[in-house]
Amino acid sequence: MFIIESYPLAVVCCLLAMLSWGSWANTQKLVGSWRFELFYWDYGFGVLLLSLVVGLTLGSQGDEGRSFLADLSQAGFESIGLALLGGVVFNVGNVMLVAAISLIGLSLAITILVGIALALGVIVNYMASPVGNPVYIFGGVLFVLLAILTGAYVSRRMNRAQPSAGQRTGLILSVVGGVLMGFFFRFVAAAMAPDFTTPAMGLLTPYSAVFVFSVGLVASNLVVNSFLMRHPFSGPAVSFSDYRNGSSYVHLIGLLGGAIWCCGLLFSVLASEKAGTAISYGLGQGATFVAALWGIFVWKEFKGSGTSVSWLLALMLSFYLVGLGLLVWARIS
């Protein structure tokens, strides 16, 4: 299978993960009024399909490690269970993210949710696998937290005059979803062998772990998303007939969104051997920075908000850049 051989290449993969995780949510914007509960079915199928295709190609070529199917066949119950659990935990948190985006916008939803997930996830993963200079790692987390607080302040300021139930719900979903998503990567990492070249028996390697994770995501979707269709966070209930009546365009865009996100997970998992799980996860979750740029410059979510808000957004992005820079340096120092 294809694996990462050096730390510089691992950093490149982390940056690609950041780009993927920060960009997939644009597909939800592209489907317009198509309800997120309906969009989310195709998103989950896109994650599963991409993980299978990559497993059967990159995960099955070369002389390093175990091939994709051989790795799945020897995996122990505990490893499979951990990867499945990672998919379930992520799915619940990500449903909250998608709902929050529909309520408070791409920039702020991802800034708050992924920011919390980044800070919590780095701490959890570093405690399990202490790779990298802790001063730089936790210094980076501190700057990320400053970015989160700045983003939350912008949200409150923009909606202070006319606070809405939808705004409050979106903020609550962002916080709870962030806590859940702070743990999913730890379950996936715990299911994998620390050495991808000569992996221990019973443990998964990156491609098989991502595939099993994807199965957990889609399986849990049968419960989580089915419930949300009947009891949505906002708007009337939707049915499976509504999903079947969707155009080919909206279904393809949903599949694309899932595939883009899955690319991010694959890049992050592949980089974790050389970069360490804390740094790999932390850099990948710099997706908040990418998503904020999309929301500000492409979707114009803050158009007409005034000069002071523009300066606050610039400060928020600056905090993120400093935090991400410290995380990169943590493995070099």
CA torsion sign for 277, 268, 197, 274 is negative
Percent of the chain at pLDDT > 70 equals 96
pLDDT at position 161: 47
Phi/psi at 204 (nearest 5 deg)?
Answer: -90, 165
Instruction: Quote the pTM value.
Output: 0.89
pLDDT at position 22: 85
Q: Is 124 helix (H, G, I), strand (E, B) or coil?
A: helix
User: CA-to-CA distance for 112 and 93, rounded, in angstroms?
Assistant: 13
Residue 230, CA atoms < 13 Å, CB-side half-sphere = 5
User: CA-to-CA distance for 250 and 161, rounded, in angstroms?
Assistant: 35
What six digits make up the tokens of 264?
A: 């991010």
The answer to whether 221 and 40 are in contact (CB under 8 A) is: yes
Look at residues 331, 75, 324 and name the one whose alpha carbon lies nearest to residue 212.
75
- Residue owning tokens 């780095």: 122
Q: What is the pLDDT of residues 122-160, one digit of tens each?
A: 889 999 989 899 999 999 989 988 887 887 777 667 665
Residue 180 sits at the vertex; the CA angle it makes with 175 and 185, to the nearest 5 degrees, is: 130
pLDDT at position 203: 97
Q: What is the mean pLDDT of residues 250-276?
A: 96
Give Cβ neighbours of residue 255 (< 8 Å, ≥ 6 apart): 42, 43, 45, 46, 49
Q: Is 204 helix (H, G, I), strand (E, B) or coil?
A: strand
Mean pLDDT of the chain: 89
